Amino acid sequence: MFRLLLILIILVPALEIALLIVSGNTLGVWPTIALIIGTGVLGAWLAKKEGLQTIKLAQLQMQQGQLPSGVILDGVCILVGGVVLLTPGFITDAIGFFLLIPQTRATAKVLLTKLINRMIKNGNFIIMNRR
Boundaries of every domain in the chain? 2-122
Q: Which pLDDT tens digit goes with each residue over 77-107?
A: 999 999 999 888 999 999 999 999 999 999 9
Q: Closest Cα to residue 100, out of 56, 53, 66?
A: 53
Q: Pick the closest to residue 108 from 121, 97, 118, 119 (CA basis).
A: 97
For the entire predicted model, the pTM comes to: 0.81
Q: For the residues of 64-123, what is the DSSP string, one character each?
A: TT---HHHHHHHHHHHHHHHHHHSSSHHHHHHHHHHHSHHHHHHHHHHHHHHHHHHHHHT
Name 82's Cβ contacts closer than 8 Å, sequence gap at least 6.
43, 44, 46, 47, 51, 96, 100
Q: How far is CA 67 from the centre of its chain?
A: 22
Residue 34: pLDDT band (50, 70, 90) is very high
35 Cβ neighbours under 8 A, 6+ residues apart: 23, 27, 90
User: For residue 113, what pLDDT band results from cuts at 50, 70 and 90?
Assistant: confident
Q: How would residue 131 be classed by pLDDT, with cut points 50, 70 and 90?
A: low
Per the CB < 8 A criterion, the answer to whether 15 and 91 are in contact is yes
